[in-house]
Amino acid sequence: MSKSKNGYKRVSGDAVEYEVFARKARIDSLHLVGSVVAPDADLAMAYARATYDEERWCEMAIVRKKDVIRLWSPGEP
């Protein structure tokens, strides 16, 4: 893991990935707009808001990627 010149790792060992979901209108479904990496949910919320705030979302939510239960994935039957 590379370190910045400030001595902090760019992604710390306890950082986890969060999926970011959002929608523009109440009639839309929430959909995946991207992901962020952060050591806790507070920071993940701040990062999600900063990174994906270019649209006028009426709702945004984050979920730990490991908490998403996948029925199947690309390439699987």
Can you give the binding site for another protein, defined by CB under 8 A? 4-6, 8-12, 15, 36-40, 42-43, 45-47, 49-51, 53
Smaller CB distance to another protein: residue 47 or 63?
47
| Least spacing, CB of residue 34 vs another protein, in Å | 11
Smaller CB distance to another protein: residue 16 or 70?
16
Q: Who contacts 51 (Cβ-Cβ below 8 Å, separation ≥6)? A: 20, 34, 36
Taking alpha carbons only, the member of 39, 58, 55 closest to residue 47 is 39
Smaller CB distance to another protein: residue 11 or 61?
11
